[in-house]
Amino acid sequence: MNGDLELLLKLQSIDYDLGELERSKEYIPDMMENLRREIEESERKLGDISEALDKSRVEQREVDLELHEKQDKLKNLQQRMMAIKTNKEYDALVSEIDQIKERINDLETRAVDLMEAIEEYEKEIEGLDGQVEGIKRINKEQIASLQEQIDSVGSKINDKEKERKNLVGQVSQRVLRAYDRIRRGKGGAAVVPVKKRACGACYKALPPQKIQEIKLGQSIITCDSCGRMLIWTEDSNN
């Protein structure tokens, strides 16, 4: 293989790594924020249900208190029925008793609803407690790992840039300029393998003579269609 082309392959690998490292400086913080948001959302959901449970328990106590009061009052009114002497008093007392019975019925219905709601909230909380703890544990481990990665990005970039500088010094300036031009223009690989007798980037079929030249590797051959530099690999026939 042409010496410059071999060096360009190493350079391209370094440039790819540098690009990934630069992109990691953007997407790793986003990943960390998503993990933190997942923790917050799980805690918020648990908090909302816990708050609803507390409110239901408070209302349950209020309903029970009022229910006992109404039941006691109903007993007293029913006892007063024995001492009533006029129809007017009787009618008034019956009306009051009916109103209290209606209120007792409403309170008993509400008490059942609250009891069922409380049981459901308690079940949800029991299940969510474990889920939230699991999410917090796993996400915090991932956040710590991502933080380590982002903390090391700077030193990794410096190491790769040193490797690149060393390689650049070994490549002829003419070839290096062509490589940089292709890389900027195509926004990706400048050196690509032949695949099934076609350019591995644009898939343009290559004439037999050009394939033979690429196989020899004595000079740098470019694709007539996309302009990328072509190499022959063990998989080029597949």
Predicted confidence at residue 135, as pLDDT, reads 96
Predicted confidence at residue 1, as pLDDT, reads 55
Domain-located, residue 45: yes
User: What whole-number distance in Å separates Cα of residue 157 and Cα of residue 151?
Assistant: 11
- Do 203 and 156 fall into the same domain? no
Domain-located, residue 133: yes
- Do 55 and 152 fall into the same domain? yes
Q: Would you write out the chain's pLDDT as a tens digit for each of its 238 residues?
A: 568 888 999 999 999 999 999 999 889 999 999 999 999 999 999 999 999 999 999 999 999 999 999 999 999 999 988 888 888 988 999 999 999 999 999 999 999 999 999 999 999 999 999 999 999 999 999 999 999 999 999 999 999 999 999 999 999 899 999 999 999 888 779 999 999 899 999 999 999 999 999 998 888 899 999 999 999 988 777 6
Using only C-alpha atoms, what is the Rg of the chain? 40
User: What whole-number distance in Å separates Cα of residue 176 and Cα of residue 232?
Assistant: 20
CATH number at residue 47: 1.10.287.1490
Domain-located, residue 156: yes
Domain-located, residue 238: no
Q: What is the pLDDT of residues 34-79, one digit of tens each?
A: 999 999 999 999 999 999 999 999 999 999 999 999 999 999 999 9
- Do 132 and 223 fall into the same domain? no
**Last residue in a domain, options 128, 153, 168:** 168
pTM over 0.75: no
User: What whole-number distance in Å separates Cα of residue 58 and Cα of residue 76?
Assistant: 27
Burial of 53 (0-12, 13-18, 19+ CB in 10 A): middle
Domain-located, residue 92: yes
- Do 17 and 74 fall into the same domain? yes
User: What whole-number distance in Å separates Cα of residue 90 and Cα of residue 93?
Assistant: 5
- Do 90 and 178 fall into the same domain? no
Tally the residues of the chain.
238
> Which residues face 194 on adjacent strands?
199
- Do 116 and 222 fall into the same domain? no
**Last residue in a domain, options 114, 134, 168:** 168
- Do 49 and 142 fall into the same domain? yes
- What letter represents residue 187's amino acid? G
> What domain range includes position 187?
173-231
- Do 99 and 11 fall into the same domain? yes
> Which residues face 229 on adjacent strands?
191, 222
Angle at 149 between CA 11 and CA 28, to 5 degrees: 95
DSSP 3-state of 191: strand
**Domains contained in the chain, number:** 2
- Do 199 and 81 fall into the same domain? no
Q: What is the pLDDT of residues 142-164, one digit of tens each?
A: 999 999 999 999 999 999 999 99
- Do 109 and 163 fall into the same domain? yes
- What letter represents residue 195's amino acid? K
- Do 77 and 116 fall into the same domain? yes
- Do 142 and 67 fall into the same domain? yes
**Six token digits for residue 70:** 């109404």
